[in-house]
Every structure is written in C-alpha cells, then in structure tokens.
C-alpha cells in the first residue's frame, strides 16, 4: 500500500531536508549508551520542527531510518522503532503547530518492506490525525533508501509500458507531490549524502555541520538557511 499525501500541498514553498546523524557519537562523548543519543535526537527533532515552522518552512523531510539501518544491533533497532512510534504519536503538538505528517519508504505490502506493524499503525494514525492541518508538511523517511525508490519507479514505468522519462519517474516516486529539496542539512561532520533523496536534491544547497543532530539549534538552522540567500 502506498500512502497518499494527506491533503493538497502548497504550490510552492521552501523544502528543507535533514540527515539526522551523530546520535550515537553524541551519547558516547557523554559516557551514555547509544540509545540515549537516539532519544535525545528524537526530542531535538520536535524542537527542529518548531524552529522550521517559525521560519516559514513549507516542507521538512527527515531521514528517520534507512533500508541499511536494519543491520544495527537488535536492541538499538528496537529502541529506534519505539522512538518512531513516539514521534508519530506527538499528534497534539503537531496539531498545535498546524503540521501535517507524511511518510516515504518501502510500501508496507511490497516485497522487501520491513516496517513493523506497530510502526505502520502509528504512521497511518498520524497521517489521519493531522490531515486537516494546513501548515508545514513533515515527511519522515522510514525504511527508506533512494536507490530502492528509484529502482521501484523505473520498474513501475516498465510495468505500465511507459517510456522512462523524468516525468514518468517523478510520478512513481514514493511521494511524487513533494517538491524538490532546496536545502539539505547533514549533521555530525559527515560530508556524505548516504542514499537520501538522490532524485529530489539534484539542485539543492548542502549544509554540512560538525554538530551532532541532538545539538542542532535555531542558530545553526539559520546558518543553513543563510546558504539560500548567498
């Protein structure tokens, strides 16, 4: 099942995407378990959502869990899954900020998909509970990999006997209504894209910061936004 966008999207608007890296290193520097870093990262995502709303961002897309992350230790994966359930459960706060939830990733009923049923339910419920909001669209990429997305789009073109054009590929992306990314932020000093939204970031500005995701604050977010005005 491919989940549709929950409402008509704004025709234009700033799209910021984030690779939320460095939770484990943030915890290690503090002598804490990696799970504590992921918890701090989820809490800071809520703060970044508030910052983005205040800055007039129309779309915020975050890399929550990749197709490659399933190889992490089982206890760590379980903790991350529980945090995503909590993230999608922040409905009262999302509604207070007029934020709509969207999701991209391997469709639940397709081969290779690994999103657990309890996370699927949380995603569906969050989309339904925020569907009437008219503000920023928060897209969470979960069980997501850009190569998988593009391969699937090409396969759907072939199945439909469509010429593989840019327009056709775009129409078969996980969420084709999402506009291209204007600004990509990657935290924790890494200078890699990590298989994230390769199609959508073709012309994006890219902001790399040494700060770990739990430490990304309004000042650093504004430094990233400043790239768009140079």
Pairwise CA distance, residues 103 & 65, whole Å: 11
b/e 151-172 (16+ beta carbons within 10 angstroms → b): ebbeebbeeeeeeeeeeebeeb
Pairwise CA distance, residues 36 & 17, whole Å: 24
Catalytic member of 6, 21, 129, 133: 21
Q: What tokens were used for 161? A: 């006997």
Pairwise CA distance, residues 119 & 79, whole Å: 12
Q: Is 21 a catalytic residue?
A: yes
Helix (H, G, I), strand (E, B) or coil at 127: helix
Q: Which residues have CB under 8 Å from 202's CB, separation 6+?
A: 180
Q: Is 98 a catalytic residue?
A: no
The single-letter DSSP state of residue 153 is H
- Cα diameter, the chain: 56
Pairwise CA distance, residues 93 & 72, whole Å: 30
Catalytic member of 6, 23, 44, 69: 69
Q: Give catalytic residues, as residue numbers.
A: 21, 69
């Amino acid at each position: 099942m491919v989940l549709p966008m929950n409402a008509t999207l704004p025709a234009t608007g700033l799209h910021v995407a984030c690779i939320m890296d460095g939770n484990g290193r943030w915890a290690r520097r503090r002598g804490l378990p990696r799970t504590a870093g992921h918890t701090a990262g989820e809490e800071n995502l809520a703060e970044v959502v508030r910052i983005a709303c205040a800055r007039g961002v129309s779309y915020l897309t975050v890399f929550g869990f990749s197709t490659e992350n399933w190889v992490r230790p089982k206890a760590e994966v379980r903790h991350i899954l529980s945090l995503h359930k909590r993230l999608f459960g922040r409905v009262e706060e999302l509604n207070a900020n007029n934020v709509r939830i969207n999701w991209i990733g391997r469709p639940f009923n397709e081969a290779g998909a690994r999103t657990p049923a309890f996370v699927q339910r949380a995603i569906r419920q969050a989309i339904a509970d925020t569907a009437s909001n008219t503000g920023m669209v928060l897209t969470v990429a979960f069980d997501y990999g850009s190569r998988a997305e593009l391969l699937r789009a090409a396969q759907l073109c072939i199945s439909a006997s469509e010429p593989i054009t840019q327009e056709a590929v775009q129409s078969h992306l996980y969420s084709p209504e999402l506009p291209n990314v204007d600004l990509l932020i990657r935290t924790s000093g890494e200078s890699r894209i990590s298989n994230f939204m390769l199609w959508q970031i073709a012309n994006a500005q890219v902001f790399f910061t040494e700060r770990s995701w739990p430490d990304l604050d309004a000042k650093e977010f504004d430094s990233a936004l400043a790239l768009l005005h140079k």
